[in-house]
Amino acid sequence: MKIELTLEQKDNQAAFRDFVDREIIPDADRFDLEESIPPELIQKLGREGYLGALLPKEFGGKGLDAIAIGLLNEEVGRGCSSLRSLLTVHGMVAQTLLKWGSKSQQKYWLPRLASGRVIAAFGLSEPNIGSDAKSVETTATSDGSFYVLNGQKKWITFGQIADVFLIFAQCEGKPSAFLVESDRPGLSIQPISGMLGVKASMLAQLSLNECQIPQENLVGRVGFGVSHIAATALDYGRYSVACGCVGIAQACLEACTRYANQRKQFGVYLKDHQLIQQMVTEIIINLKAARLLCYQAGYLKHIGDPRAILETSIAKYFASKTATQAASDAVQIHGANGCSSEYSVQRYLRDAKIMEIIEGSNQIQQVTIANYHFGF
């Protein structure tokens, strides 16, 4: 057993870190305040190849291994969880098409997704449906040459700017997945604002009203929408979120280290107060554990091991809890300053809480992990 990044992974990590320090961190609090990401930054992500990180080079992607993809998500998550959410949802659709897309879907969509010319979003949640994905109320009916979609989708990350959506709907009474381009007549997009966290992830509500799409926009087969299509996307999403949470915890640690080295109370620096040391120690230990769980999940993904699915669920559960606790402690250490918009730790706390809810709430992860342990 050897737990060490390869030279190539270390090089990639250094490049990701430099990009995040230069292009993201200086403006991340502003993105949060303005509840949007500038298109120029998304274009830069595309130019760096980060939007096609997981796609093979034959489709114009960067062809990174699973560990390197995790490192990318960690670093971007360290800077801005909202932007990391773009990597998540865009990657979820790319991963799904790579695995289950038809040859023509792959040929058309994957190079566009790899370059970032096309932004993709994931359309599963609805006003009445969250965790119970099989019960989506949106419908798709076939009229022979088209599918006609009707329904509502809610909380769609980067729905405001996406060019194509992976939409889940009941077809012949069975959950199924479809590609719906944003300019299809019958699709209307309403921005959602005022969320607690990941405020710059440009959420939207989608209304599908007699929205007609060609038959070839079906992804996979009718009836496999949740069991295989959404499951593939959500597995990638959980990995991306888990690694992003490691990034949040790392950002908390770095912020606390800076602050505890410069702030004095009772005549000594905060770093010399033992109860501050206790909180920082908890962040360090849980951060290391979360990162190792992500590395393990990434390694299992890399070798195609079926255990990767469960280990990703475990990593997401632990990393999101770690991020929330680390951010809560970071605010505590910063005191009143931590509650102010002048410091980023309040953003980390608001963002981390969202991570315990998305891509399968932590309660769903707990049920999943327990069910696996006890068996059928």
Point out which residues bind another protein (CB under 8 A).
Answer: 100-102, 220-221, 223-224, 226-228, 230-232, 234-235, 303-310, 313, 368, 371-372, 374-376
| Nearest to 4, CA basis, from 77, 70, 67, 69 | 67
**Closest approach of another protein to the CB of residue 219, in Å:** 8
Minimum CB separation of residue 168 from another protein in Å reads: 12
Nearer to another protein, 185 or 306 (CB): 306
In terms of CB distance, is 236 or 343 closer to another protein? 236
Give bridge partners of residue 122 from the DSSP assignment. 166
Nearer to another protein, 81 or 313 (CB): 313
Task: For residue 110, give every residue at least 6 positions away whose Cβ sits within 8 Å of its Cβ, in sequence order, or none.
Answer: 55, 59, 60, 61, 94, 97, 98, 101
| DSSP notation for 21-77 | IIIIGGGHHHHHHHT---HHHHHHHHHHTGGGTTS-GGGT-----HHHHHHHHHHHH
Indicate the residue among 170 and 344 with the shorter CB distance to another protein: 170
Residue 59 CB, nearest distance to another protein (Å)? 16
Backbone angles phi, psi at 37, to 5 degrees: -110, 130
Q: Rounded to an integer, what distance in angstroms lies between the CA atom of residue 61 and that of residue 56? A: 5
Least separation in angstroms between CB 87 and another protein: 21
| C-beta separation of 350 from 29 below 8 A | no
| CA dist., res. 307 & res. 200, Å (int) | 34
Q: Smallest distance, Å, CB 306 to another protein?
A: 4
Shorter beta-carbon distance to another protein: residue 93 or 251: 93
75 and 17 in contact (C-beta within 8 Å)?
A: yes
Q: Which is nearer to another protein, 7 or 370 (CB)?
A: 370
Q: Which phi and psi (to 5°) does residue 187 adopt? A: -105, 120
Active-site pick, 74, 311, 356, 359: 359
Minimum separation from the CB atom of position 223 to another protein (A): 7
Helix (H), strand (E) at residue 235? helix 231-262
Q: What is the DSSP secondary structure assignment for residue 130, as one 8-state letter?
A: S
Q: Is 126 a catalytic residue?
A: no
- SS3 label, residue 201: coil
Query: What is the C-alpha separation between 118 and 126, in angstroms, rounded?
Result: 24
- In the block, which residue shows the tokens 């997009």? 189
The 3-state DSSP class for residue 229 equals helix
Which are the catalytic amino acids?
Answer: 359
